[in-house]
Amino acid sequence: MTTHSQQQRREAMPGSSLQDSLVALSGVTKTFGAVRALAGVDLSVGPGECIGLVGHNGAGKSTLMQILAGTLRPTDGRYDLGGETVALSDVSVSKAQGVGIRCVFQELSLCPNLTATENVRVRHAALSGFGWRKRAAKLLTEALDDIFPGHGISPGATVGDLSLGRRQMVEIAINFIATESSHPRLVILDEPTSSLDQSVASQLLAYARRFVEAGGSIILISHILGDIFSTAGRIVVMRDGAVVADRPASEFDRASLVAAMGHVAEDDEDEALAHAAKARIGEPVVIARPPKQANGAAVSLHRGEIVGLAGLAGHGQTALLRLVQHAAYHRSRLAEVRGRIAFVAGDRQSDGVFPLWSIGENVTIRSLPALSRLGFVSSAREAAMEAEWKDTLKIRTPDMDDNILTLSGGNQQKALFARALGSDAEIIAMDDPMRGVDVGTKREVYERIRKEAGEGRSFLWYTTEFDELLHCDHVYVFREGRIVAELDRGELTEEKVLQSSFDEAAA
């Protein structure tokens, strides 16, 4: 099976020697129809290694991880598990799990109608027989306590009732559980921190470091480069379905890493961000009061403003955005909205994507009235809009008529951005929309948001990343469903935001 050149390539691979590698891929390719997702990738993971995997949306990171975890079969190449070559047709999840490879996927894979404990049972078949519920709950609580001290999650809670962040915490904990028959030896974390707020994310990264010190292995995929630098010992950079760099983390710095990903580092970013706080004049286009707010405080948004909603994840920011969205179409006693609104979802699966439709149909749905005559959609005008936004946001697809689910997570997110930005809305509500979006795309979108705000569009932006608040003119910090602080651009510091987010907990 193995060709001569592959043999050579394997010998030249950096990192641990092949004999003691947990899993090793060489020359692996994967094609989906006409799309080549992986073009010959070599990667080996040894025990006690933490690998940071970075690259743009659609670079092939998730595909590579799915192959490692056995959920996808490579089209070609060589796949070694625990030093033994596995025939490509035999690659399977159970084989990978047999050697202790676990994977926390970007799209949450818990069953929402089951409790957290029952989800543990789904993942760990060994928990059978009398009293499994008790044992599963114990294992889960232990894992959660270990990774996220002070998590406050009850193992009997139905997953669907948990916030996105807590669901992610349960999913992560389940993958670190060791049972009699299966121990986690390599855990793949695909964008694990994107739906966690900062304090929880740092708990996870600290745990990952402890896990690696104890001899376990981690592959960490993240668009937050700080996470990569603080945690990974080795960094693998992917671009266009190939590994373009694979070196110890100490050999990279922020600029060289971004450059390796194929992006020129911009140093004028700070200058662009340093715009002075604008005076808030005139009638606001949105006034919204959180339902739990006891005092008279309310979020207000003026024309051409970017207003940020900050605080820990799940403290009422999304609820406020939904309230505003609802108030644009119905009467509401809590919110007043003057103008048309569009919504950019953060939780793609439940709030954004229409899974049976093409990318194009997903983009145009918000703009159909503008693309129609006498109630019927004009194909020509619809196609024109699709082509325009494919270019504008560089959606990576051969054809806008392909199903939306053929796109990687970040590119699906671009389609949702296109849906809102391409519409006639004067107000855009964004629900932490940059989850799983790569650095390059983020910059383009930030720039676009600033430009459109300059032209009079207004943005209401909930984000869990502090850096994104720097783009806002005005920031409201939320805690337990209430506005607890209001900061102008001039007085905005990370410390102030964190302080307000934690006030009571810290006291």
Q: Point out which residues pair with 80 in neighbouring strands.
A: 24, 85
Residue with smaller CB distance to other proteins, 324 or 498: 324
Q: How far is the CB of 29 from other proteins (least distance, A)?
A: 15
Q: How far is the CB of 383 from other proteins (least distance, A)?
A: 14
Cβ 418 to other proteins shortest distance, Å: 12
Please, what is the minimum distance in Å from the beta carbon of residue 267 to other proteins? 37
CB 53, CB 436: distance < 8 Å: no
Nearer to other proteins, 72 or 186 (CB): 72
The answer to whether the CB of 421 falls within 8 A of the CB of 415 is no
439-454 vs 409-421: helix axis angle to the nearest 10?
10
Helix, strand or coil for residue 89? helix
Residue 246, CA distances (Å) to 28, 235, 483 in order: 16, 6, 45
Structural contact between residues 375 and 448, judged by C-beta atoms closer than 8 angstroms: no
Please give the residue ranges that form the binding site for other proteins (CB under 8 A): 32, 322, 325, 329, 340-343, 345, 350-357, 361, 365-366, 368-369, 372, 375-377, 403, 405-406, 419, 423, 425
Closer Cβ to other proteins, 222 or 423, answer by number? 423
> Of the two residues 192 and 346, which places its CB atom closer to other proteins in the complex?
346
CB 36 within 8 A of CB 199: no
3-state secondary structure 141-161: HHHHHHHCCCCCCCCCCEHHH
**Nearest CB to other proteins, comparing residues 75 and 202:** 75
The long-range contacts involving 329-336, CB below 8 angstroms and separated by at least 24 positions, are: 334/288, 334/289, 334/290, 334/291, 335/286, 335/287, 335/288, 335/289, 336/286, 336/287, 336/288
Output 318 or 501, the one with its CB closest to other proteins.
318
204 or 323: whose CB is closer to other proteins? 323
Task: Give residue 409's identity as a one-letter amino acid code.
Answer: G
Minimum CB distance to other proteins, residue 362 (Å): 9
Instruction: Quote the least distance from Cβ 347 to other proteins, whole Å.
Output: 9
Closest distance of CB 403 from other proteins, Å? 5
How near is the Cβ of 322 to other proteins at its closest, in Å?
8
**Residue 27: CA count within 13 A, CB half-sphere:** 16
Cα separation values, 13 from 10, 16, 81, 148, 399, Å: 5, 8, 16, 36, 36
CA distances from 396 to 194, 198, 320, 371 (A): 21, 30, 32, 24
> What does the chain come to in residues?
507
Nearer to other proteins, 265 or 405 (CB): 405
Which residue type is seen at 151?
H
Token pair for 226 = 């700080």
Extract the runs of DSSP E, i.e. beta strands, from 202-267: 217-221, 234-239, 242-248
Q: Closest approach of Cβ 405 to other proteins, in Å?
A: 5
Task: Using the minimum distance from each CB to other proteins, give the nearer residue, 266 or 354.
Answer: 354
Least distance to other proteins from the beta carbon of 376, Å? 5
Q: Which is nearer to other proteins, 431 or 473 (CB)?
A: 431
